[in-house]
Structure 1
Amino acid sequence: MSHKTVFLTGAGGAAVPGLIRILKSKGYRVLAGDMDPHAVGLYTADQGFKLPQGDSPEFSKKLAELCQQEKVDVLIPLVDEELPASAALGSESLAVLVPDKTFIELCLDKYKLMQAFEKAGIPFPRTKLASEGAHDLKFPIIAKPRVGRGSRGVEVFQSIDEFNSYRGTLPSAKDILIQEYIDGLEFTVSVCVWRDGRVQAVIPKEIIKKRGVTQLAVTRKNSVIEKVCIKIQEQLQADGPFNVQLRIDKQGVPFVFEINPRFSTSVSLTIASGFDELNYLVDRALGVRSSQNISWKEGVVLLRQTLDEFITEDKFLKRMKEFTGEGQ
């Protein structure tokens, strides 16, 4: 059994309870952190910690203190706002499983990412800032925050009049991205990359149902998607795990509209398909020769559901007191 410690942030995420169980089954001591004292992962991990907001000045200091205090070997941040500060904590004694800092910063600014795609020859939807207007775009169009995560603040407009009415309500139209809607199948794609820049695996998952996070999806072999994801690594040098979101149009062209520079909530489906990308990269981070077989099965379906967790009231109140100082 391992005596190593792994720390996951974003303990309230849909996939996190499952990831905690998988890491525990491998013998790791698993810690979890979240700003919400009711995040389920805080209670199912070996130890939970309430964290400041990810983009606050206090976050980095608190996380660094916890990693040192708990002798954390591997840190896995799962919240976009936390990625830059978490990446900066990497050292010889602490491995942080995220891509290169430059890649992270690029992906977190969706407009700059699309500009980088244009230079790299990676297909993406026609994109503008809302401040530039939408008169030369083909409707329907998607509007979303230039900096943001998930489906927060995403709007769909069918006409220029609808969009102009919306734009008139914006505090700053420069902070909103608009893109032409690509009619076609949507995919979320796990790309497993190590520090050496070698792509170990590309696992496309066709999204059947999505509500903020993927609810229903199926693994699909697709050489076109694989090629564009490898090209992203070659051109933008992520050198760490990332998730690609794209749609394939009726001509078979994959249009990439977003990259999450971290493990995504669909990592559980990747693992279920036969390739445990999480433990593969944890092994690499710890300098352990991985026993993972880098292969996976097509046609594995994710049916995301709510899984009830049960603990004693004493344990719940004890942890709540640690998080809030109130005990209830």
Structure 2
Amino acid sequence: MPHSHLRDRRILVLSVGSAAAPTAIRVLASAGADVFAGDASLHSEGLYLVPESNRVHHAPLESVEAIPELIRECRRLEIELIVPTASEGFLNLAAARRLFAVNGVRVLVPSVHAAMLALDRYEFTREIEGRFPMPRTYIGEALRRAIASPLPLEIEGREPESQIARQRITSSVVPIEPAGWDALIGRRILPGPELHVLTFRPSTAVPSASIAIEVIEKFGHVDEVFAYRVVLDPVAIQLAEDVVEALELDGLASVRIVKGPCDRPEVVSIDPFAHPAHRLAAMAGRNLLVASATNALGIDFQLSEEPPLELTSVQIIDELLVPSDAAFALGGQRTSELGGAAIETSPNI
């Protein structure tokens, strides 16, 4: 039976072409919210997960027109809460948080300072270096020298605006122009489990809550996520919560943690917005997305003390042509009705 914690509350999910958007739309809708979907592109799949009357087409979130346009649309549609699902325009939204509030709209973003620390991978590294375990990190000339080493190396854009996706380097040949090296950050990441610890740090006296999700890659396909699985890892969870606390990052966050051969958790990065595995977390007793939405709207919502002990897994499927969306099962094989299509799901990946 659907929850009703957000019954009839009007919530706008942004960047609905992202991997996390379908999860956010469905989790909020299952809590009773009247969900709207917004994006700068009319081709974003998430727009077609809501009725046509609930679709918002706006200017790119990085542009100067975006915030005034969004405020006008929010007032017209009586939107109460905005939920970002990607780094696109995130700093603009954080900077305009008070302006939205004046117009009666809450935005699930932290302070500008916390958002900048989280999204700038180099500044994040500098902030936590020496305080928390982390992989060896390189930038600029040091990264060029590190490329020549045979050890595994991962690179990604330093800032979201670089639009350089995370990739693993297996040779000294890097498909990046020399002028773009300063926009990169590199890390030595040895083979081992990768966890995304989803956290919720409320701005009220409600206790923080977290859940650890293991990322399972498709065999033989590096960086292609095949499944997410809930794992019980109190050490990784505590590490993630300590990092979030150190950054004073209110609201949602997903902390990426890798474990090397010695099973030592190391903090890699943090993203302060919705994650594709939030729907899985909700089914495992940690509905952090609804908790953050209700907290922002001043609605009382209590998470359970502990998630169920069962390990829950979710297989990635192509649902309504939405990439990285998922079907869920909590025990035994069963058929789920999602998007009008019957999908076989299994807890055993």
Give the TM-score of the pair, scaled to structure 2: 0.79
Match of 1:257 among 255, 268, 287: 268
The match for 1:26 is 31
Match of 1:272 among 270, 280, 283: 283
Unpaired stretches in structure 2, ≥5 consecutive residues: 321-338, 341-349
| Change over 3 Å in CA distance of 1:128–1:295 after alignment to 2 | same
SS in 2 for 1:80: coil
> Are the aligned partners of 1:206 and 1:218 in contact in 2 as well (CA < 8 Å)?
yes
Amino acid at match of 2:298: G
Q: How does 1:202-241 map to 2 (within 5 A)?
A: 202-209=210-217, 214-241=225-252
SS in 2 for 1:174: helix
Q: Once the 2 structures are TM-superposed, how far is the Cα of residue 24 of structure 1 from its aligned partner?
A: 2.8
SS in 1 for 2:89: helix
> Are the aligned partners of 2:157 and 2:163 in contact in 1 as well (CA < 8 Å)?
no
| Change over 3 Å in CA distance of 1:155–1:16 after alignment to 2 | closer
Q: Distance in 2 between matches of 1:158 and 1:5?
A: 47
> Are the aligned partners of 1:6 and 1:75 in contact in 2 as well (CA < 8 Å)?
yes
SS in 2 for 1:171: helix
The match for 2:194 is 186
Q: How does 1:114-263 map to 2 (within 5 A)?
A: 114-119=125-130, 121-135=131-145, 139-148=151-160, 152-158=164-170, 162=172, 165-166=173-174, 169-196=177-204, 200-209=208-217, 214-263=225-274
> Are the aligned partners of 1:203 and 1:270 in contact in 2 as well (CA < 8 Å)?
yes
Match of 1:81 among 73, 83, 88: 88
> Are the aligned partners of 2:212 and 2:230 in contact in 1 as well (CA < 8 Å)?
yes
Q: Distance in 2 between matches of 1:250 and 1:41?
A: 39
Q: Distance in 2 between matches of 1:113 and 1:175?
A: 14
The match for 2:316 is 304
Q: Distance in 1 between matches of 2:209 and 2:287?
A: 11
Aligned residues: 305
Q: Deviations over 1:3-28 (max 9, x none)?
A: 32111012223343343233233332
Q: Once the 2 structures are TM-superposed, how far is the Cα of residue 296 of structure 1 from its aligned partner?
A: 1.7
User: Identical aligned pairs, as a percentage?
Assistant: 22
Match of 1:36 among 27, 36, 41: 41
> Are the aligned partners of 1:100 and 1:240 in contact in 2 as well (CA < 8 Å)?
no
Q: Distance in 2 between matches of 1:113 and 1:208?
A: 25
Q: Once the 2 structures are TM-superposed, how far is the Cα of residue 74 of structure 1 from its aligned partner?
A: 1.0
Q: Distance in 1 between matches of 2:223 and 2:145?
A: 29
Amino acid at match of 2:92: A
The match for 1:13 is 18
Q: Deviations over 1:154-195 (max 9, x none)?
A: 343345xx1xx4388332321111111232111111011111
Range moving further from structure 2, 166-175 or 82-91: 166-175
Q: Distance in 2 between matches of 1:248 and 1:189?
A: 13
Q: Once the 2 structures are TM-superposed, how far is the Cα of residue 113 of structure 1 from its aligned partner?
A: 0.5
Q: Once the 2 structures are TM-superposed, how far is the Cα of residue 133 of structure 1 from its aligned partner?
A: 4.0
Tell me how large the CA RMSD over aligned residues is.
2.6
Give the TM-score of the pair, scaled to structure 1: 0.84
Q: Deviations over 1:94-127 (max 9, x none)?
A: 22112232111111110111011115x1111111
SS in 1 for 2:257: strand
> Are the aligned partners of 2:214 and 2:229 in contact in 1 as well (CA < 8 Å)?
yes
The match for 1:315 is none
| Change over 3 Å in CA distance of 1:168–1:85 after alignment to 2 | closer
SS in 2 for 1:79: coil
